[in-house]
Amino acid sequence: MSSQASRYDQRVRLRFGRRADSYEQHALLQRAVAWRLGRLCRDLALPAGPAADLGAGTGLLSSALVRHHNGLRARPPLQLDLCPELLARNPWPVRQQWNLDGGLPAPLGGAALLASSFALQWLETPTDRLADWCRSLAPGGWLALAVPTAGSFPQWRHAASLAEVRCTAVPLPRAEALLATTAAAGLRPLIAHRLRFSRPRQGGMIALRQLRQLGADASRQPPLSASQLRRLLAHWPGETPLLWEVLLLVAQKPCPDPPYP
């Protein structure tokens, strides 16, 4: 991992850490998506093997998974996250601070379930890490993924272009690339939905403030100056809400065909 990537990891960790006390108060979209993904997983037949919540944060996704899937109540997923402050507010018993940019812990080889919500986009190379996750699944194992994708934030990008300032939004992976990665790994999708979410009457200042309240405002770009921010907001299209495009994917690694007798 490059030193530049490592510095970015630390910016992400520090920003979420500073907002950990109030994260769930502001994570309305994250909670809603986690609950929907958990419900989509309720009937999955899980093989033997470990389960993990990758980028678990405060445990919103695992809470939804355990609520909807009876088989996970006796074996809640391992909670992995880079931010110790978020993990400190996670109610599930097995938690580990872990940098997902470095791959997965060895015990997750042959996983029955790898789940992740609103975490993959923060990694240095999301498609490479996703390919690793697919390879770590046991035959018959499941990937359950929710991730904001490149169709998000068109208003922000357009306003930045008109204002001739940098768009400091985190670069998001393309849904097509993520789906191609899972297909190349041999996974078979049970559900692959691209959903769009927005909050009404939410102009530029409110949208950017909400990201900051979540701690989700780390950027690979230098911050805008005060004058640049004013120009950006002046070109934001009124109270047009910030649009999120989210990929929900539930896919299975197939079992190998039995040999011919």
Phi and psi at residue 174, to the nearest 5° = -75, 135
Helices (H) and strands (E) in the chain, counts: 10, 7
235 assigned to some structural domain: yes
* pLDDT given at position 216: 86
C-alpha distances in Å from residue 246, one per residue of 103, 206, 213? 23, 20, 20
C-alpha distances in Å from residue 2, one per residue of 7, 83, 101? 9, 20, 11
* pLDDT given at position 259: 54
142 assigned to some structural domain: yes
- Domain count along the chain: 1
233 assigned to some structural domain: yes
* pLDDT given at position 121: 97
- Does residue 218 contact residue 170 with C-beta atoms inside 8 Å? yes
Which amino acid belongs to residue 188? R
Residue from 197, 192, 184, 186 nearest 249 by CA: 192
Domain of residue 86, residue span = 3-252
Q: Report the distance separating Cα 77 and Cα 20, nearest Å.
A: 21
C-alpha distances in Å from residue 65, one per residue of 40, 41, 91, 111? 9, 7, 13, 16
157 assigned to some structural domain: yes
206 assigned to some structural domain: yes
pTM of the model: 0.92
Give one word for 238, left, alpha or beta, with left for phi > 0 and alpha for psi -120 to 50: left
258 assigned to some structural domain: no
* pLDDT given at position 173: 97
257 assigned to some structural domain: no
Q: Report the distance separating Cα 109 and Cα 68, nearest Å.
A: 25
* pLDDT given at position 189: 97
261 assigned to some structural domain: no
- C-beta atoms surrounding 74 within 10 Å: 7
Give me the CATH number covering residue 31.
Answer: 3.40.50.150
pLDDT values of the chain reduced to their tens digit, one per residue, 261 residues: 544 446 888 899 999 999 999 999 999 999 999 999 999 999 999 999 999 999 999 999 999 999 999 999 988 999 999 999 999 999 999 999 999 999 999 999 999 999 999 999 999 999 999 999 999 999 999 999 999 999 999 999 999 999 999 999 999 999 999 999 999 999 999 999 999 998 776 778 888 888 888 888 888 888 999 999 999 999 988 777 789 999 999 999 998 765 555
* pLDDT given at position 2: 46
Q: Is 191 helix (H, G, I), strand (E, B) or coil?
A: strand
Residue ranges with strand state E in the chain: 51-54, 78-81, 95-97, 111-117, 137-148, 188-197, 244-252
